[in-house]
Amino acid sequence: MNKEEAAKKITELSSLIAYHNHKYYVENTSEISDYDFDQLLKQLEDLESKFPDLVSETSPTKRVGGDITKKFQTVVHEYPMLSLSNTYSQDEIVDWENRVKKQVDGKLNYVCELKYDGVAIGIRYENGSFVQAVTRGDGSKGEDVSSNVKTIRTVPLQLKGDFPERFEIRGEIFFPLKAFHELNEQREEIGEEPFANPRNTASGTLKLQDSSIVATRGLDCFLYGVYGDDLPADGHYQSVLNAGDWGFKIPTPQNRYLERTDSIEGIMDFINYWDENRADLPFEIDGVVIKVDDYGQQQDLGFTAKSPRWAIAYKFKTERVSAKLQEVTYQVGRTGAITPVANLSPVALGGTVVKRASLHNADQIEKLDLYENDTVYVEKGGEIIPKIVGVDEELREGSAEKIKFIDRCPECDTELKRIEGEAQHYCPNDAGCPPQITGRIIHFISRKAMDIDGIGSETVEQLYQRGLIKNIADLYDLKHADVAALERMGEKSAQNLLDGLEASKKIPFERVLFALGVRYVGETVAKKIAKAKKNIDAIMNATYDELISIDEVGEKIAIAVQEYFMNEDNVEVVNRLKEAGLSFEIEEQALKGEQLKDKSIVVSGVFEKVSRKELKQLIEDHGGKNVGSISSKTSFIVAGDNMGPSKLEKAKKLDIEIVNEQQFLEMIGHD
């Protein structure tokens, strides 16, 4: 390759890397795998090493990784937050260890850690108190996300023990897989598209403007890199253990998340162990990190322009396989959302046999440029969900036709609609489309809704096919003989089903409201609406302004609620459920006190002694009313740390009283 060709290739690679870098760090989406991205970067590095006079000061090889979104205040890092050099080759780990041994004197120990797939964070403490949390950003400066990080329960606001007077601790914020799955279940229940993977969701959550939403997400954090003057340890390993004594959640040797070794054999054993066992972790990792333990030796080794020489990351390859696309089919959800599914020739991937992969929506099919019988590349997105990441166009059949997204419902042949601003197409025939009907009934009987024993999805399908039920109210008209006649049912099972229906009449109103399946109304929102309006009639007759004034109810939800009750069929179903004896009003609990009777109170900020959820419950327990926005009718505001500036300005303008957490607790006599 001559210089002119190299210059052109460097420009192409730089532009492509910058594009994917922006997608990953700013838009929190990914169009290629980490491995493919790293290979692009490696190509660029190789070219720049051969043609050093073509290296630009703005080359992606000089960047640490992230970018600044301008949503939060920008903060300059006191200690540059560099990224690690990484490799997918164990031979390169051996080469790195040999270089280290040649450059430092004395006995060497290495610390092996997991490489968490989350969001890097640096948190500053002074005199044992949380001061500020800053993202990596571009390595030299990041974003102040303190109010959001304070909501993470494993991040201490006050330290214990013998800690340094002033220091910074760094680590990784991540989404535990259990919390991630629960969040996606909630989104699917209200008809929203699930999040793609835990890493991007953690990053997006951390940059939300409303810390109260962040607090509900269940983020977690391991902290392990201590920076500062006069640290009470000579090496990284002991510093991590010290941080555990100060109150931080650290990776520990007991669960083998942290290990010290003096040999390359020990390093390889750690790498191989976690390559085999990472699927068993309750969070995602994408590799391991190896560091020289001793701080003095770290200092001797020093840094390159973008990474320390005393550390390296070994990244696990995302397993990728080829499969033949047999056909694309379409699923209809209970809300009418259409999800395309790729049906594949069976392939082994990540310990399981994969036959299907979600294509999400029409835009994804278009982006992949899929044709009939294509050979596709399949990965497990986030080690969990199979996804198609590309197509081998060289193997495409010449006569193959491009796959076009359907325009009519595959179940009822109704013309599909796509709401402006949404990714999915919908079947509007909610009253006559079979999977929508059975989907709503299955949602109604589910554990988090009515939790009806003795009936499952197969039974619902049988009852529907026999014409015994067409909506959720029909369940309460079922007769013993009808149920007992079903396949694999029998007398006893039929009675259990009817007993389960009878028991469901004691389910509280907020869960009944959730069970109705109003679009966008999940568990939490149903509780908010039920508590605010007290009974179903008040909700049915609520104006748009009344609905939107309820905490966590936005424009989309308010419109969905109104549209649901404008439908005469839905109103008829609710009336029949009333007659059947279901609970459609809040059972008022005895108040613990009346200090806040008839007061409308706004809660804003982050609190230390009680959570926002607990604080709002205390308001209701003492006769008060939680409101989400400030108006002239607001009695007072309970303000924690980082109260929103717009709320503060409005409170001053309206001369609304502001009390702090301690004053509020004293007001109600709470210990």
Backbone angles phi, psi at 324, to 5 degrees: -90, 130
Rounded Cα–Cα distance for residues 470 and 432 (Å)? 9
Give me the catalytic one of 70, 107, 115, 505.
115
- Run of H or E residues at 331: strand 320-332
Rounded Cα–Cα distance for residues 126 and 157 (Å)? 11
Q: In this structure, are residues 329 and 343 in contact, taking their beta carbons and an 8 Å threshold? A: yes
Rounded Cα–Cα distance for residues 52 and 351 (Å)? 44
For 297-306, which contacts have Cβ atoms below 8 Å and span 24 or more sequence positions? 297/104, 297/106, 297/108, 298/236, 300/103, 300/104, 300/105, 301/100, 301/103, 301/104, 303/82, 304/85, 305/62, 306/61, 306/62, 306/63, 306/64, 306/82, 306/83, 306/139
Q: In this structure, are residues 283 and 175 in contact, taking their beta carbons and an 8 Å threshold? A: yes
How is residue 135 written in tokens?
């993202």
**Residue type at 595 in one-letter notation:** Q
DSSP lists the bridge partners of residue 290 as 112, 312
C-alpha count within 13 angstroms, C-beta hemisphere, residue 608: 10
Q: How would you classify residue 337: left for phi > 0, otherwise alpha for psi between -120 and 50, otherwise beta?
A: beta
Burial of 251 (0-12, 13-18, 19+ CB in 10 A): buried
The DSSP 8-state label assigned to residue 403 in this structure reads: P
Burial 507-520 (b: 16+ CB within 10 A, else e): bebbbbbbbbbbbb
Other beta carbons within 10 Å of 407: 10
Rounded Cα–Cα distance for residues 562 and 543 (Å)? 8
In 520-611, alpha helices (H):
523-533, 536-540, 544-548, 555-566, 568-580
C-alpha count within 13 angstroms, C-beta hemisphere, residue 628: 17
The DSSP 8-state label assigned to residue 154 in this structure reads: T
Q: Residue 134: which of 123, 150, 118 has the closest Cα?
A: 123
Other beta carbons within 10 Å of 245: 13
How is residue 209 written in tokens?
């403007």
Q: In this structure, are residues 198 and 177 in contact, taking their beta carbons and an 8 Å threshold? A: yes
Relative to beta strand 338-349, strand 352-358 is antiparallel
Other beta carbons within 10 Å of 458: 12
Q: What is the distance of C-alpha 194 from the center of its chain? A: 9
Is residue 317 among the annotated active site residues? no
Rounded Cα–Cα distance for residues 233 and 226 (Å)? 10
Q: Which residues are catalytic?
A: 115
